[in-house]
Amino acid sequence: MTRSFSLDVNGENVSVEADPDAALLSVLRDGLNLKGARFGCGLGLCGACFVRLDGNVVPSCETPMWAAEGGTVVTVEGLAAPGELHPVQQALLDGQAAQCGFCISGITVRAAALLETDPRPDADTVAEALDRNLCRCGVQRRIITAVVKAGEAAS
């Protein structure tokens, strides 16, 4: 049974029709055509689907629409103004820190949230913050270095 849900997604008020138990990830990808958050494990364990909901980083694959109703959602597409890059996105590009790119959207969302609370994290702090984000390509060191540099650049 579907019903209407209102959300603020990346600064835009949207209304979507969905089952209350539908995953926020499905609504973002299929209903709103925001493909940045990806389906990985489907259990909220890998981080590929991370988005911010009301300021908290959450696995959108496990977040039902009824829990997101009326909330503010920020996806990787909404981290920066159109045509611009968030400092984390720029640092990841500059550091060639993404290989296959599957995990990088969730990592970027989580790293951007970290920089809001700790603008100049050290490598250990970044590694701890990104612990729930799985990267199978083995570029974690480059990712951590890029996030540290993003913090340094933004300060």
Question: Which tens digit of pLDDT belongs to each residue from 82-97?
Answer: 999 999 999 999 999 9
Query: Could you tell me the residue ranges of all domains in the chain?
Result: 3-78, 87-154
Q: What is the pLDDT of residue 82?
A: 92
Residue type, 115: L
Task: Give the residue carrying structure tokens 């540099």.
Answer: 149
Distances (CA, A) of 19 to 1, 117, 154: 6, 34, 40
**Considering the domain 3-78 in this protein, what is its CATH number?**
3.10.20.30
For the chain, the average pLDDT equals 95
What is the second-level CATH architecture of the domain 87-154? Orthogonal Bundle (1.10)
Give the mean model confidence (pLDDT) for residues 135-143: 89
Tell me the average pLDDT across 75-82: 96
Q: Tell me, what's the pLDDT at 83?
A: 93
pTM of this structure:
0.94
Sheet holding 50-53, edge to edge: 12-18, 3-9, 72-74, 50-53, 56-59
Which residues does 39 contact at the CB level (< 8 Å), separation at least 6?
Answer: 25, 29, 48, 49, 61
